[in-house]
Structure 1
Amino acid sequence: MTASFKTLPEPHTRPGSGHLQDWALGPLPLIEQGAQRARLGGGDLFRLRLGGPAVVGFSPAWNRRVLTDLTTFVSRGSFSAVVPYLAGGVILTDAPEHAARRQRLNPGFGRVSVERLRERMRQARTPVPRQPFDALPWADETVRRQLNAAYFSGDFDDTLLAAFLAPLRRPFPVPALPRPLLFRRVEQEIRRLAERRLVEGGDDLLSSLAPLPGGLTETRISLAAAHDTTTHALAYALWALANRPEFQAADTHPAVLKEVLRLYPPGWMGSRRLSRAVEWRGTELPRGTLALYSPYLTGRDPALWARPLDFRPERWEKPPPAWAYLPFGGGERTCLGLHLAQTLILDVLAETPPLRARWGNDEPHPGVTLGPRGPLVVERR
């Protein structure tokens, strides 16, 4: 007999608001409690009361279903749709159109193209200060400058770019507020630079995207999606190395980055909408349900990882369980900027002198992306 999704375990609710208040003020403790209650019942799914039917799953099997059944778990109506920075382009394109659109975008973000951009990004990075500094704003600046180099050969006005990206680092509802004048200025600047590329040619990302249908929109959205995710991963990696100098070697940096992304995935929660009713392990999920998957919960699941809360780069000597490590999503919808972000971060780590942690607060702080609450004050050794 199929059970109603209303019978699923759920975190503690507040009278009158369900889970909305805790979702706004403290979503990580909320979902951790939900996962714990689901595990106690032998399941991998729990319910949230967010004003409509919503469920969160955290097992590899759930992740695989959400990220591969693209006709049932659709992006239209997901959380991305309410954030103007992410509301459009390939992010909100569903099957069957998604595959063709993604295929047109892939070459610009592939390994060969990223390798061509590598030296340009290296030259644009922010010098490491001689005095103690906060790794979080430093990472913010160096990622912004390097993305400017990769996308626009450094031609985009940095003051405008900083103003455009700044709201993404603020708590909700700030990133969801409309900013028509700012967006218009950014789009005009992208269009101006794109017209130059179409006439004169070029070898940056804008040169690859400008000729494509909707390419300028994809430029703006992918740039916004890349900045904070890469910034937060880099800041956490710098902090980890400042606290664990034994891992400050180029051959260990990939494992350090993987461990950072396991514990602190910038994309801490992914969302889809159900286009039809689905049965999941004896529970019927109605059409229109908000279906969430959490790389944060999966990456910390004690059933999947030994001592899951410990920072242990050595665990990456073996491959992770399938569909248990999803900092860049998975399947057809794997993050478009995966190679770009990894190359940028690993090159910065390789060229940064050994650091020492002074003081800071690395508590994960969720917003559009997951980052450290900060500050993260470090200094050269």
Structure 2
Amino acid sequence: MRHSLASLPEPPTRPGNGHLQDWALAPLGLIEEGAARARAAGKDVFRLRLGLPAVVGFSPAWNRRFLTDLGTFRSAGSFSAVVPYLSGGVILSDAPGHGPRRQTMNPGFGKRHLEVLRERTQAALPGVPQGEFDALAWADRAVLALLNAAYFSGEFSPRLLHAFLAPLRQPFPVPALPRPGLFLRVNAELRRLAHQRLTAGGDDLLAVLAPLPGGLEETRVSLAAAHDTTTHALAYALWHLARYPQWHAPEHHGAVLKETLRLYAPGWMGSRRLGRDLVWDGVRVPRGALALYSPYLTGRDPGLWDAPGEFRPERWADKPPAWAYLPFGGGERLCLGMHLAQMLIHDVLGALPPLRAVRGDATPQPGITLGPRGPLVVRRD
């Protein structure tokens, strides 16, 4: 027997707007309450009332289906489509075109090519201030310089790059507002630098992407997707190392980063639109419904992790449950920039002097990505 969406657990609603107000103002509390009610009912999916049929799943089984069944879970019509920064390129492509398009881009973001870029990204890393400084603000500046080096050999106007990416750090609806003048200036700079690569050669990421169909759009979109995700992961990692200095050693940094991403996955929520009806645990979810998965919820699920809210890098001595740790997505849609982000963060952590936490607010703030409310003040002695 198949049941309708009305049979699914859901968080409390508000008269007149369902879950829209809480989704806009306090989405983490909303989905945490939904997941708690789903677990209490023996479910791994709950319903949200967002003006259209919507479901959120958080189990490894749901994650696996969500990320591998590309015919059912379609990117077109997802949340990315309403954000001009992310509305295009491989992010919004679907099967059968997604795979071939992704294959043309993979070599530039593979480990072998990133090693070619490593010397210049390491050279671009700004110095660590003496005394007290805000790790969040420093991480923002550092990642901006590192990505400029990786994508453009440091030749993109830093001021324009900052102006382009800064709105992504703001709460909704700021990232979704159109900025035609800014995008025109950015696209003009991309064309100028791409012409240099096409005529004189080069080996940075722009040189790899520029010759591809839609390569400049892929450059702009992947750059936007990379900045805040890497910034927030780096800021949280710095904060954890300052609070737990016993973990500040190269042999521990891998576990520190994994634990940071488990607790504070920058891509805290992923969305798709159903290309056909889905039956999940006896419940029919109709074609066109919004389907979501949450690395944040899965990464903090008490059924999957011991003491899920605590920072325990030692847990990474063992492998996590399959499809339970997904800060970079999974399957064919694994994050294109995963190796780049990991390389940059590990290089920064390896170059850091000892730090001490002074004061800060690490409360996660969801927007396009999940980052700390901040500031995160640390001290270099």
TM-score (norm 2): 1.00
SS in 1 for 2:298: helix
Question: In the TM superposition, what whole-angstrom CA distance separates every residue of 1:48-71 from its partner, at most 9, and x where no partner exists?
Answer: 000000000000000000000001
Partner of 1:123: 123
Across the aligned residues of Structure 1 and Structure 2, the Cα RMSD in angstroms comes to 0.5
What is the letter of the counterpart of residue 347 of structure 1?
D
Partner of 2:135: 135
Question: In the TM superposition, what whole-angstrom CA distance separates every residue of 1:256-291 from its partner, at most 9, and x where no partner exists?
Answer: 000000000000000000001110010000000100
Check if 1:229 corresponds to 2:234. Answer: no
Partner of 2:112: 112
Quote the Cα distance in structure 2 between the aligned partners of 1:363 and 1:126: 26
Partner of 1:287: 287
What is the letter of the counterpart of residue 132 of structure 2?
P
Question: In the TM superposition, what whole-angstrom CA distance separates every residue of 1:126-161 from its partner, at most 9, and x where no partner exists?
Answer: 110012100011000000001000000000000000
Question: In the TM superposition, what whole-angstrom CA distance separates every residue of 1:214-260 from its partner, at most 9, and x where no partner exists?
Answer: 00000000000000000000000000000000000000000000000
Quote the Cα distance in structure 2 between the aligned partners of 1:274 and 1:297: 21
Partner of 2:345: 345
Check if 1:367 corresponds to 2:373. Answer: no
Most deviating of 224-233 and 3-12: 3-12
Quote the Cα distance in structure 1 between the aligned partners of 2:181 and 2:113: 33
Q: In the TM superposition, what is the alpha-carbon distance from 1:125 to its structure 2 partner?
A: 1.0
Identity level (%)? 71
Within 5 Å, give how 1:133-282 maps onto structure 2.
Answer: 133-282=133-282
What is the letter of the counterpart of residue 261 of structure 1?
L
Check if 1:10 corresponds to 2:10. Answer: yes
What is the letter of the counterpart of residue 296 of structure 1?
Y
SS in 2 for 1:230: helix
Quote the Cα distance in structure 2 between the aligned partners of 1:17 and 1:115: 51
SS in 2 for 1:252: helix
SS in 2 for 1:37: helix
Quote the Cα distance in structure 2 between the aligned partners of 1:141 and 1:192: 24
Quote the Cα distance in structure 1 between the aligned partners of 2:151 and 2:41: 48
Partner of 1:79: 79
Within 5 Å, give how 1:295-306 maps onto structure 2.
Answer: 295-306=295-306
Q: In the TM superposition, what is the alpha-carbon distance from 1:340 to its structure 2 partner?
A: 0.3
Quote the Cα distance in structure 1 between the aligned partners of 2:137 and 2:248: 21
Question: In the TM superposition, what whole-angstrom CA distance separates every residue of 1:157-207 from its partner, at most 9, and x where no partner exists?
Answer: 000000000000000000000000000100110010000000000010000
Partner of 1:379: 379
What is the letter of the counterpart of residue 255 of structure 2?
A
Quote the Cα distance in structure 2 between the aligned partners of 1:8 and 1:362: 33
SS in 1 for 2:47: strand
Partner of 2:42: 42
Quote the Cα distance in structure 2 between the aligned partners of 1:28 and 1:126: 33
Question: In the TM superposition, what whole-angstrom CA distance separates every residue of 1:110-132 from its partner, at most 9, and x where no partner exists?
Answer: 00011111111111111100121
SS in 1 for 2:279: strand
What is the letter of the counterpart of residue 135 of structure 1?
A
Q: In the TM superposition, what is the alpha-carbon distance from 1:6 to its structure 2 partner?
A: 1.6
SS in 2 for 1:56: strand
Quote the Cα distance in structure 1 between the aligned partners of 2:65 and 2:302: 21
Quote the Cα distance in structure 2 between the aligned partners of 1:191 and 1:47: 45
Partner of 2:308: 308
Quote the Cα distance in structure 2 between the aligned partners of 1:64 and 1:183: 36
Q: In the TM superposition, what is the alpha-carbon distance from 1:7 to its structure 2 partner?
A: 1.4
Partner of 2:25: 25
What is the letter of the counterpart of residue 245 of structure 1?
P
What is the letter of the counterpart of residue 263 of structure 2?
L
What is the letter of the counterpart of residue 357 of structure 2?
A
After superposing on structure 2, the runs of 4+ consecutive aligned residues of structure 1 that deviate more than 2 Å are none
In structure 1, the gaps of 5 or more residues are none
What is the letter of the counterpart of residue 54 of structure 1?
A
Quote the Cα distance in structure 2 between the aligned partners of 1:137 and 1:220: 23
Quote the Cα distance in structure 2 between the aligned partners of 1:170 and 1:99: 32
What is the letter of the counterpart of residue 98 of structure 2?
H
In structure 2, the gaps of 5 or more residues are none
What is the letter of the counterpart of residue 333 of structure 1?
R
What is the letter of the counterpart of residue 319 of structure 1?
K
Quote the Cα distance in structure 2 between the aligned partners of 1:246 and 1:85: 39
Q: In the TM superposition, what is the alpha-carbon distance from 1:321 to its structure 2 partner?
A: 0.4
SS in 1 for 2:250: coil
What is the letter of the counterpart of residue 295 of structure 2?
P
Q: In the TM superposition, what is the alpha-carbon distance from 1:210 to its structure 2 partner?
A: 0.5
What is the letter of the counterpart of residue 258 of structure 1?
K
Quote the Cα distance in structure 1 between the aligned partners of 2:262 and 2:256: 10
What is the letter of the counterpart of residue 182 of structure 2?
L
Partner of 1:100: 100
SS in 2 for 1:279: strand
